[in-house]
Structure 1
Amino acid sequence: MSTFFVRPEVAALKPYSAGKSIEEVRREYGLTRIIKLASNENPLGPSPRALQALREAAEGVNIYPEGPSTALREALGARWGVGPDWIFVGNGSDEIFRLLATTYLRRGDRVVVPRPSFPVYAGASALMGAQVDAVPLKDGAMDLPAMAARARGARIVFLCRPNNPTGGVFAAEAFDAFLRAVDPDTLVVLDEAYREYDDTLFDSRAFLAEYPNLIVTRTFSKIYGLAGLRLGYGVGRPGIWQPLYTVREPFSVNRLAQAAGLAALDDHDHLEASRRMNQAGRQFLTAFFREMGLRPWPTQANFVLVDLGRPAAPVFEGLLRRGVVVRLPDPADLPNALRVTVGTEEQNREFVRALTDVLNA
């Protein structure tokens, strides 16, 4: 009887699978030594400045945080060259995607998403009763001409650059052509969660100035190492964000997250160390996969998707039993693939040893 009142949109959704946690693997396999290379977290951890800010902010956790995250919005606006009213801070990028869907989607509206990509785009849209039109990738990145063709009459288009789980990117010229082809009444959401790891030339700020229907989102969960605090932000015209404040939770971004995010922004040494470590690790893993006769996908993120040429699920299980946690993508899209986060040099080598053992077993 308890399911009688569940909305059909909810009943049809699959729960988001976050992959195996360290705690889960420890309980299920009885292991003590575990390395997690599954969720694209920064293995260097947070900035020391962010940790210090956390310690100081902890003394005030008996007080509600400031709802609009004004200080963080001002700092982010200065970096992007826009006013703070162009910035919306959320409880991770996920909250922003869900709030956009809640605010702007009506039952029957069309939403265009890439596939495979981050599943929250489709999930948040389907929850509001929208029709989700998934467009297959091309060479691991968005097929922008195909998405533009399907976007006619769509309410929202979600893009991801670099794409998760493939790591592919598209060129600035292709994106400009896409934005010109899309109806100006269609909201375009560009998720740049991994932008700080990307070596290609691409300046989303220039597109924001030219296209009023564009939103760019970023996160503190990846290169800034604050995944456990849940902090993300979006950049776009103030008129887009104003209605979201009426539907969001009043204090969705906690005091600790705001303080740590503000401090992390100024730690350029930590940011550069994270970039250098990722670049070296990405090259190491890609070279290893090729030497093994496997097919790594081109990536500009902090992970590598590799085609094993065989069903990936048994290999994933074999790695778990050796204490190495990677990500198994949706088998409906990528049945032979694993996604591995770039770790420290030691973690990368441990993964390589474990994968070699599994493949040779």
Structure 2
Amino acid sequence: MKWKEQILNLRAYQPGKSIDEVKKQYQLDSIIKLASNENPYGHSPNVDHVLNEFDSSYMLYPDGNASSIREATALALDVDEKQLIFTNGTDELVQVISRAMLEQGKNTVMATPTFPQYKHAAIIEGAEVREVGLADGNHDLNKMLSEIDKDTAIVWVCSPNNPTGSYIPKDELIHFLERVPSDVLVVLDEAYFEYVTDPFDSLPLIEKFSNLVIMRTFSKIYGLASFRIGYGISTLKNIQALEPIRLPFNTNVLGQLAATAAISDQDFVNQCSKKNSDELEKYYSFCEENNLHYFPSEGNFILIDFQRDGDEVAEFLLSKGLIVRSGKSLGFPTSARITIGLEKQNEQVRSVLNEFILS
């Protein structure tokens, strides 16, 4: 078979164990999943209302233009509807952008560790991947600039960064964008934007920097991960270039309905963000009391260094019915990334972690 040579060593995405798998393996009745940065508070009640009212036929294709969510999102963000592209999660948007711009002879620049799909998509397209190590959990923007040359097509910037939760301040981001060549696309991944405690509005930057694409999602704070709705915001010209590459009917009818309802309820979003910040502070105190290094996070997760094998940490928690993410697969081999759950869930995690620290 004439497979692309560059895909032969790629591994498919490995999701963590499901709740049912863990229940069966450890013979547990109750499992708490805090591994994938899902919203523990669920979704807006508005979503249940529209889904319960849905009475159309499932035999029909969804609206290929995603008109309802397009209109609602444009209104919420105060942008032109044609400045938006909707995809099957931001994973698909990463694929669309990579397919549009990357090929053999081109390169792409990104931080490491960061969201792994940037690298994965680039390898599939045969492009060179240039990774720049984080500086104390933060993007080293100056070093990333130094990696850009005439063959660079895309620079990926994840803010807040996954898995460290670091957020790039406005002045630093603008200074970076001012120095990136205008023919190099900068993709600003803001999947966790709504969790940032003191955010700046990045959308006006699109007017100043025509080479900027901003990615956001309904999978995180909106609590709609199972519906797979992500989106990008950019100039009309950039969106027009990307639209032919996405698959037709790539967002499903129920996902469009759910996202349209969700974005109209910003009170729910604000409440979730506030609760998340309050619970993060408790983790900070726990880490400081136990002399554990952590990265202050602007997401709904925290990366904690236990100075022990990350798989060992995750396995100990798993045996107690708590699913978290080992830092080994995230580039932090002695750490674990823990999604911020409900108050009682977080208390349980910290209690089990105390057991682990003393073991």
Per the TM superposition, whether the score is higher than 0.5 is: yes
Displacement of 1:252 in angstroms is: 1.0
The correspondence of residues 31-50 of structure 1 with structure 2, limited to 5 A, is 31-50=28-47
For 2:226 and 2:199, locate their aligned partners in 1 and report how far apart those are by CA, in whole Å: 30
Q: Out of 144, 147, 157, which is 1:147 matched to?
A: 144
Report what 1:337 is aligned to.
Answer: 335
Report what 1:204 is aligned to.
Answer: 202
Displacement of 1:331 in angstroms is: 4.9
Displacement of 1:347 in angstroms is: 0.5
Report what 2:27 is aligned to.
Answer: 30
TM-score by length of 1: 0.96
For 2:340 and 2:330, locate their aligned partners in 1 and report how far apart those are by CA, in whole Å: 24
Moved more, 208-217 or 17-26: 17-26
One-letter identity of the residue aligned with 1:240: N
Report what 2:317 is aligned to.
Answer: 319
Displacement of 1:152 in angstroms is: 2.6
Moved more, 110-119 or 63-72: 63-72
Report what 1:78 is aligned to.
Answer: 75
- Counterpart contact for 1:152–1:182, Cα < 8 Å: no
Displacement of 1:195 in angstroms is: 0.6
One-letter identity of the residue aligned with 1:83: D
Seen in structure 2, the aligned counterparts of structure 1 residues 50 and 138 have a Cα distance that, compared at 3 Å, is same
- Counterpart contact for 1:315–1:359, Cα < 8 Å: no
Provide the identity percentage.
37
Displacement of 1:58 in angstroms is: 5.9
Deviations 1:38-97 (A, max 9, x none): 110000101110122222236432221001112211221222222111000111011101
- Counterpart contact for 1:97–1:120, Cα < 8 Å: yes
Gaps of 5+ in 2: none
Are 2:307 and 1:309 equivalent residues in the alignment? Answer: yes
The correspondence of residues 153-302 of structure 1 with structure 2, limited to 5 A, is 153=150, 154-302=152-300
Are 2:50 and 1:53 equivalent residues in the alignment? Answer: yes
SS in 1 for 2:104: coil
One-letter identity of the residue aligned with 1:239: K
- Counterpart contact for 1:216–1:236, Cα < 8 Å: yes
Deviations 1:167-225 (A, max 9, x none): 01121111111111111000000000001000134221121110000000100011000
One-letter identity of the residue aligned with 1:108: G
For 1:349 and 1:355, locate their aligned partners in 2 and report how far apart those are by CA, in whole Å: 10
- Counterpart contact for 1:139–1:168, Cα < 8 Å: no
Moved more, 76-85 or 315-324: 76-85
Displacement of 1:270 in angstroms is: 1.4
Moved more, 199-208 or 172-181: 199-208
For 2:109 and 2:323, locate their aligned partners in 1 and report how far apart those are by CA, in whole Å: 32
For 2:275 and 2:6, locate their aligned partners in 1 and report how far apart those are by CA, in whole Å: 43
For 1:95 and 1:201, locate their aligned partners in 2 and report how far apart those are by CA, in whole Å: 26
- Counterpart contact for 1:91–1:232, Cα < 8 Å: yes
One-letter identity of the residue aligned with 1:103: A
Are 2:119 and 1:115 equivalent residues in the alignment? Answer: no
Q: Out of 99, 124, 142, which is 2:96 matched to?
A: 99
Task: Figure out how many residues of one structure are paired with residues of the other and give that number.
Answer: 358
Q: Give the aligned CA root-mean-square deviation in angstroms.
A: 1.4
One-letter identity of the residue aligned with 2:120: G
For 1:332 and 1:352, locate their aligned partners in 2 and report how far apart those are by CA, in whole Å: 21
Displacement of 1:280 in angstroms is: 1.0
Moved more, 178-187 or 331-340: 331-340
Deviations 1:324-353 (A, max 9, x none): 000113357211110000000010011111
One-letter identity of the residue aligned with 1:208: I
For 2:350 and 2:218, locate their aligned partners in 1 and report how far apart those are by CA, in whole Å: 28
Moved more, 327-336 or 275-284: 327-336
For 2:353 and 2:105, locate their aligned partners in 1 and report how far apart those are by CA, in whole Å: 45
TM-score by length of 2: 0.96
- Counterpart contact for 2:328–2:335, Cα < 8 Å: no
- Counterpart contact for 1:16–1:119, Cα < 8 Å: no
Displacement of 1:238 in angstroms is: 1.9
Are 2:353 and 1:355 equivalent residues in the alignment? Answer: yes
For 1:255 and 1:127, locate their aligned partners in 2 and report how far apart those are by CA, in whole Å: 29
SS in 2 for 1:310: coil
Are 2:61 and 1:64 equivalent residues in the alignment? Answer: yes
One-letter identity of the residue aligned with 1:237: T
For 2:157 and 2:166, locate their aligned partners in 1 and report how far apart those are by CA, in whole Å: 12
One-letter identity of the residue aligned with 1:265: I
Deviations 1:254-277 (A, max 9, x none): 000000000001112211221121
Gaps of 5+ in 1: none
One-letter identity of the residue aligned with 1:157: V
- Counterpart contact for 1:327–1:340, Cα < 8 Å: yes
- Counterpart contact for 2:193–2:199, Cα < 8 Å: no
SS in 1 for 2:30: coil
One-letter identity of the residue aligned with 2:108: V
Displacement of 1:100 in angstroms is: 0.6
